[in-house]
Structure formats: structure tokens, C-alpha cells
Amino acid sequence: MSTRFAGGAAALITLAAVLMSSVGTSAAQDGITVQDSSVNYVFGRQIEFTLTAASSAPITSAMLIFWARRGADGEICEPEFEPGYEIRAYCALDVAGLELTPFTLAGYSWELGDLSGRHLETEPVWFRYKDNRFVWELYERDSIRVHAAGVARETIEDVLAAAMVTAEELSRQLGVTEIGLLDIYLYENLFTLRSGLELPGGELMDAYSDPENGVIAISAEEGPGSDGWRRALPHEMAHIWLYRASSGAGIPLWLNEGYAMTLEPEPDPYMDAFVEEALGNGELLPFSSLCVGFPSGRDELYLAYAQSRSLVRYIRDRYGQEAIRSLLAAYAGGATCEGGVQSALGLSLDDLERGWRLHLQKVSGGASDRLQVVLWLVLLALTSLAMGYGFLYSGFRKRVRR
């Protein structure tokens, strides 16, 4: 909450790139009239609200309610203002104190009261909290919009084309026809992306999707050391399609991340070996522990992603793509993590896991020899190539995605 009539507000206002104004959106009810109401913000720092209103009796109370997203708890901002027949109120909220995610739809409403007991609550105004540190160029085709900042036109065209192909593939796989608008924010590089995606809780990400708002943020980089957009784009798009296919209901994280990874065109080649190694060492994570969250340790997190991808592929191979749709339908109907598996596949999550382990053992029976060979080759590469380590290590880096 902030109640400052900030002296530095003028500087902030000149910095702000977006100004939204709704004049007279709320007609007078019982005499109180909003003459002007606006919001502007400095991305990642502060959101400012101004209001001018008038009434036939002096306005004595004013309060702003802010929602970081639809359905969120309201944040109250109490402005300083001079009570009177006409008032000008100003309120500022520090972004650091809000559960505000980039590119989300945020909203606000004013509540005013005058001396004669009249009361006005304005209709909520919703605005897109974009990263306004950059000027975004818009490229669109059908319902896909790419907003790019500092990215070569050729790359933008490539991203748009890849998004069209992925959209078609996802719709076909998941049987989703109505997806609505998809907004892809394409940053120049990982550095600018990460600086924009510092999320509440200090989480650092190399790609981001907000399925509820149909928004994706990725970096246009393709070089080593980053995931590259060719892998990140279909992955993040899958999260949006899965959200729609399950009618916005929560689905298990192992299904969400595992499925998203099956869409990646250049699968991480180290994942399967990592799962096999964990199987051999008796270190596999139980899927019942991967329903709502993944472990935070680097290796366990990587294993959680690798296992999830492996299980989803197993379900598809063993039970068919129809089983994935049944799972999503079960979760759309409110099933629990275990209940969804039971109703879609007719077996418990534990039994599914047992079947998957058996399958892995069968597959890795011959593969453990191959793994040994691979490990020897890796050792050889490490000893002979001083630069080799960085490259091999990049496959095991911490992946933080949604």
C-alpha cells in the first residue's frame, strides 16, 4: 500500500511508456461523476493511478482497489487528496509488493463517497501489464501475434512460421479447436528476457508462458548456452494448449512438463541416459511427488523433467494419444492427480509407474552396455578436449520453465 503524493512522480510519469486513460467510464450514480481516470507504470517498479471526480456534495472518501490478475485478492491503495466538490486523487503501488506477473491482465476500480452519503464504485478497468521498457513491433498471422523487440525480421518471420506449424500440430494432437489469441513476446536475448521475467519470489526463467492470458515470452537467441527459441516456443505453446484442453483445470506437473517436452524439436539427448542412470541407482522420483511441484535441487529438478518426458512418451506409446486426451478430460472434470490416471487409464498412478519402470528396464537392458560405451566416449572427449566440458555440461544445466 502506498499513499504518497510522490515528489518524484513527474520523473516517473515521463519515464512511463504506457498511458491508459478512461474518461467518464463510470457515469454518475447518485451524483458522483468520474471525469478522468488513468493508470501508467514503469515496468518492474511502480504503477500509478490518477483520478478526477466531482459530486454535488463534497467527496470525502476515495480508495483504489487493484487486482494483480482476475480472481486475485484486491490490493488497497489509499490516496491522499483534498476533499471537495471536485477532487484529484493520486495513488502509487510498488510492483515489488504485488503478485504481478509480466504481461498479465491487471485491473483496478475506485470507490468514492461524498458527504451526503452517496457512494460510487467504478467498473473494473483491465489493462495488460506489458514490459514497456521496449518498443514492441507487431507481426501477426491468424490468431498468433509476435511482439518483437530488437529482433531481426527474418527471425521474427521464422518464429511466426514455427508458431503456426506448432499450433496446428497441438490442435490436432489434443483436439483443441478454439484457442483464442496467442501473444508471443520475443526478446532480443536471454539477458533482456530474464530482466523482464523476474517473477514474484525472485524466480529466474529462460522462457515463460501464462496460459490463462495466452501469453508467451521467449528469447530470440539460438546459440549454445541457451535453450533457443526453437525448443522453447513449442514447449511453452504446449502449456497453453494443455491449459485449454483441460478447460483451465490444474493438471499434474509431470503431465504438463512431460507433454511440453515431447513437442521440442531437438530433444535434450542427455535426458534418457539420466533417467536410466537413476533407475540403475534406485534414485527415480515417485510420480506422486511430481503432481504439483518439482524438487528444487539442480539434479533432482533435471531428473523430474526427464522422468516426466519419459512417462508421457510411455503413456502415448502404450495407451495411445487418445489416453492423453482422456487424462486431460478427467482433469478438466476435476479429478485429482491419481484419480485422473485411474479414470483415464483404469489403473492407479503407482501401477502406471510400475509399468513404466518395467518398460525402462527392458529398454535399458541393452542400453546399459551402450551407456557404458557412451560414458567412455565422454571420458575420452573430456580428457582430449579442454573445451568439451562446457558443451557437455550444458545438457545438465538447471532448466527453469513453466
Backbone φ and ψ of 119, nearest 5°: -140, 140
DSSP β-bridge partners for residue 108: 66, 125
| Cα–Cα distance measured from residue 261 to residue 255, given in angstroms and rounded to the nearest whole number | 10
Measured from each CB, the residue nearest to Zn ion is 401
Q: How far is the CB of 235 from Zn ion (least distance, A)?
A: 6
Q: How far is the CB of 260 from Zn ion (least distance, A)?
A: 5
Give the cell for residue 135: 518498443
Closest to Zn ion by CB, 183 vs 257, is: 257
Closest to Zn ion by CB, 257 vs 353, is: 257
Give the cell for residue 12: 516517473
Q: How far is the CB of 57 from Zn ion (least distance, A)?
A: 55
Q: How far is the CB of 386 from Zn ion (least distance, A)?
A: 34
Q: What residues contact 366, with CB distance under 8 A and at least 6 apart?
A: none
Q: How far is the CB of 239 from Zn ion (least distance, A)?
A: 6
Q: How far is the CB of 203 from Zn ion (least distance, A)?
A: 13
Q: Long-range contact list for 378-382, CB < 8 A, 24+ apart?
A: none
SS (H, E, C) 302-323: HHHHHHHHHHHHHHHHHHCHHH
Cβ pair 188, 150 in contact under 8 A: yes
Question: In 3D, which of 12, 243, 40, 229 has the Cα closest to residue 130?
Answer: 40
Q: How far is the CB of 147 from Zn ion (least distance, A)?
A: 21
What is the residue type of 207?
Answer: A
Closest to Zn ion by CB, 134 vs 254, is: 254
Give the cell for residue 316: 502415448
Closest to Zn ion by CB, 87 vs 263, is: 263
Tell me which residues touch Zn ion (CB under 5 A): 257, 260, 401
List Cα–Cα distances, 24 to 65, 122, 324, in angstroms. 18, 10, 49
What b-and-e string marks burial along 183-213, b requiring 16 or more CB atoms within 10 Å of the CB?
bbbbbbebebbeebbeeeeeeebbbbbbbeb
| Cα–Cα distance measured from residue 255 to residue 246, given in angstroms and rounded to the nearest whole number | 12
Closest to Zn ion by CB, 111 vs 169, is: 169
Closest to Zn ion by CB, 194 vs 401, is: 401
Give the cell for residue 98: 504485488
Q: How far is the CB of 399 from Zn ion (least distance, A)?
A: 8
Closest to Zn ion by CB, 257 vs 272, is: 257
Question: Could you tell me how far CA 10 lies from the centroid of its own chain?
Answer: 33
Closest to Zn ion by CB, 48 vs 183, is: 183
Question: Could you tell me how far CA 1 lies from the centroid of its own chain?
Answer: 26
Closest to Zn ion by CB, 120 vs 312, is: 312
| Cα–Cα distance measured from residue 110 to residue 29, given in angstroms and rounded to the nearest whole number | 13
Q: How far is the CB of 301 from Zn ion (least distance, A)?
A: 12
Cβ pair 145, 159 in contact under 8 A: no
Q: What residues contact 333, with CB distance under 8 A and at least 6 apart?
A: 249
